[in-house]
Structure 1
Amino acid sequence: MWEDAGEAPKRIVPDGCVDLVECGGEVFVAGPDTTAWTWETPPDARASGVRFAPGRARDVLGLGADELRDQRVPLGDLWGREGELLAERVLCGGVSLTDVVTRRRSDGADREISELITRLDSGVPRVSAALGRFATGERQLRRRFTLAVGYGPATYLRVTRFQRAIGLAPTAPDLASLAVSAGYADQAHLSRDCREFAGIQAREFFRAKKCAMSIVDR
């Protein structure tokens, strides 16, 4: 669960997750992103959401995460009349977002995909290093991964490496050290991914991350 009080616009960068969001009189699903977008909570409003771990949104939403990639979809468009009624009940306080998740959740976890996500999150240098020793063939495994996560293993590996860099940024002395610590080949590699995922230069992006962390620590 998360909440946002709308203090300032926020640059949201890809993280492999899907969110169910209540904000500004709407209930919608924010699909997995491949590039940055700006989030700003309306004045005098609060936003709240449920963030699904990578690969788990399909258990609740009932469709492949790849159909939601880079999209914001109202709950009514996703589930029809049932979604419209649930959205109305969430907005009037009759049910919470967690109630919606609990009601719709199925026991559909794909163990092989969960294991592949864990391997990719561990910092392997390439997808091939994570694909070994599965009972399922590689082509089918990649297809199921895309349905569950929203994009293929290669894109997810890049996303999770970039998120690792974000987590390490506050203590990294410089971009070159940060790139090595996060698993990039070099600083130029990190800079390319930052331009694609965040839409700005790495020096500017990670400087802002460090400043935000120093404010929180005060």
Structure 2
Amino acid sequence: MYEEAAPPPRLAGVARCVWRSASAGPKRIVPDGCLDLVVGDGAVFIAGPDTAAWSSVTRPGAELHGLRFAPGRAAAVLGVAADELRDTRVPLGDLWGREGELLAERLLTGEMTPAEAVASRLPSAAAPDPAVAELVTRLEAGAARVAEAVTPPSTRAPVKDPAEPATISERRLRRRFVQAVGYGPATYLRVSRFQRAIALAPGAPNLAALAVAAGYSDQAHLSRDCRALTGLTPRAYFRPASTVDTTARDRLHSA
């Protein structure tokens, strides 16, 4: 079982969704470019951002629920650069100390929801980085290469901080992107393109057609990324009986 719902209005632009999940066995989690606050099975932790698949294992009957941050927004709320959390599961107490431990207790008892926990942090969170947000949008729009998505410095909109120059160098933008998202634009493009393939897979007649529809140069390109991001071949990952979390595929995201 896996269900997603829109986040509450006060978290618009901060969270991509809230979700709950229960699985009878190990669940393969593939990279989606996001960080999650996860609650359940006796633990509260921050997951991701991932660069490769990992297996989520819970006790029989255990239910997880959580909040998925919008790409580039978690770092400001969590108070730590996203790349420091790459490919990790960090207990909330380790991240926020005593405050995190107390918050985890309230989350586990149901006194507070993940959305409420994140909302409580918003007053002290930094404003979103407009240049990073713009680059995320361009990468998700289907750019074939990062160079096509990076806005030339001469045309980029000014940032909000008056103490900062009105234009941002490409090198500085990439550094800020890594801190906000968790990895560089090239990796994010790879992940978002594969997520696009997951979304399109149910309607694709074959892998070659899927590769073209998702924006890959050819089927071999899709195969390389699939192996790197899931640990499986495309035929193994996309077939109905594979170990892929089919509920996540149907919902267009990995939980």
Structure 1, 102-111 or 56-65: larger mean CA deviation: 102-111
Alignment of 1:151-166 (within 5 A): 151-166=183-198
User: Match of 1:126?
Assistant: 145
CA contact (8 A) 1:166 1:209 kept: no
User: Match of 1:10?
Assistant: 27
Aligned residues with identical type, % of pairs: 60
Structure 1 residue identity aligned to 2:220: A
C-alpha distance in 2, partners of 1:36/1:130? Answer: 26
SS at structure 2 position matched to 1:147: helix
SS at structure 1 position matched to 2:24: coil
SS at structure 1 position matched to 2:25: coil
Structure 1 residue identity aligned to 2:184: G
CA contact (8 A) 2:77 2:126 kept: no
- The TM-score normalised by the length of structure 2 is 0.80
Q: How far is 1:25 from its partner?
A: 0.8
CA contact (8 A) 1:4 1:41 kept: no
Structure 2 residue identity aligned to 1:121: E
What do residues 178-200 of structure 1 show as CA deviations (whole Å, max 9, x unaligned)? 00110101000000000000001
Q: How far is 1:96 from its partner?
A: 1.6
Q: How far is 1:6 from its partner?
A: 2.0
**What is the number of residues matched between the two proteins?**
214
User: Match of 1:204?
Assistant: 236
Q: How far is 1:209 from its partner?
A: 7.8
C-alpha distance in 2, partners of 1:3/1:75? Answer: 18
What do residues 63-83 of structure 1 show as CA deviations (whole Å, max 9, x unaligned)? 110000000000000001110
Which protein has the bigger helix share? 1
Q: How far is 1:89 from its partner?
A: 1.4
SS at structure 1 position matched to 2:39: strand
C-alpha distance in 2, partners of 1:92/1:184? Answer: 45
1:95 paired with 2:127, answer no
C-alpha distance in 2, partners of 1:78/1:209? Answer: 38
Which consecutive aligned stretches of 4+ in structure 1 deviate over 6 angstroms post-superposition?
none
Q: How far is 1:40 from its partner?
A: 2.7
Structure 2 residue identity aligned to 1:8: G
User: Match of 1:145?
Assistant: 177
CA contact (8 A) 1:170 1:209 kept: no
C-alpha distance in 2, partners of 1:165/1:62? Answer: 32
User: Match of 2:204?
Assistant: 172
Structure 1, 106-115 or 18-27: larger mean CA deviation: 106-115
1:112 paired with 2:144, answer no
SS at structure 2 position matched to 1:98: helix
Distance 1:209 1:29, change over 3 A: farther
Structure 1 residue identity aligned to 2:226: C
Distance 1:207 1:42, change over 3 A: same
What do residues 148-172 of structure 1 show as CA deviations (whole Å, max 9, x unaligned)? 1000000000000010001000000
What do residues 27-64 of structure 1 show as CA deviations (whole Å, max 9, x unaligned)? 00002000001113321221001000111111210111
Q: How far is 1:90 from its partner?
A: 1.2
Query: For structure 1, which runs of at least 5 residues remain unmatched after alignment?
Result: none
User: Match of 2:161?
Assistant: none
SS at structure 2 position matched to 1:3: strand
